[in-house]
Every structure is written in structure tokens, then in C-alpha cells.
Amino acid sequence: MPLTAFALAISVVALVGLPPLAGFPGELVLFTAAVQADMTWLGVALILNSVISAGFYLRIIYALIQPISTPKAEQAKEAPLLMLIPILALAVLIILFGVWPDPLVNFAGDAANALLSLGGSV
């Protein structure tokens, strides 16, 4: 199932927060906010957490690239096209929003400003 495995690998690497995938801008915003708030210790904790998480996520990648030669594994087929389309579309979006995160960042900023403008009226 090479296409499914590729999409899973993209997703896992994005969780680690490596550029140019969608997890990186989020990690960068959190780290920058921690440093700007004079909470550098929190930024260091975020980086340490990312490194520890990467250790766990890389085990998944390692399992994906290991050759398996069991009869059951050899009978496995790629997922049907109707299942592959959303899986691969999400993998493409992970890459796209990692390279060009501005639409998501702007949307999140607008949403935060709208919520803050509500104030105590809720």
C-alpha cells in the first residue's frame, strides 16, 4: 500500500513539526509566542517535547519502510480510489499549508479577533 503509507508518512512527519509541512508553522507560532511573552523556558519545553515526540513518530516511519514478507502482507492491496482521494488530498494540503501557511494563519487571527471583540457579551 505505497500511496497510503506515503500519506501516513507525510502526516507523521508533519506532526513532528518539520518544515515544509503544516505542523511547522504551528510549532513556530507557539515557540515565538512563548519567547515574546518572556517565557523562554516554555519555548525550550516545547522544543524538548517535539524532540521526544519525534522519537515516537520516527518508529512509525521505521515500521513503514521495513519489508514485510508474510502471506497476509503480500495479499494486501492499495485502498480503493474513493478512499485514496481524501487521504492523498489531505497529504497535499499538509504540504501546501506548510509551504504557504498565510491563509490559515490569517483565518485563525481573524477568528481570534472576532472572539475577542465579543468580550463579555457571551
- State pLDDT tens for residues 83-95: 999 999 999 999 9
pLDDT at 37 over 80: yes
Q: What is the mean pLDDT of the chain?
A: 88
pLDDT of residue 101: 86
CB within 8 A of 23, min separation 6: which ones?
13, 14, 15, 16, 17, 94, 98
Number of structural domains the chain divides into: 1
DSSP 21: S
* Owning domain of residue 73: 2-121
Of the chain, the percentage scoring pLDDT greater than 90 comes to 47
**pLDDT band at 34, cuts 50/70/90?**
very high
Encode burial over 10-44: b for 16+ CB neighbours within 10 A, e otherwise: bbbbbbbbeeebbbbbbbeebbeebeeeeeeeebe
Quote the pTM value. 0.75
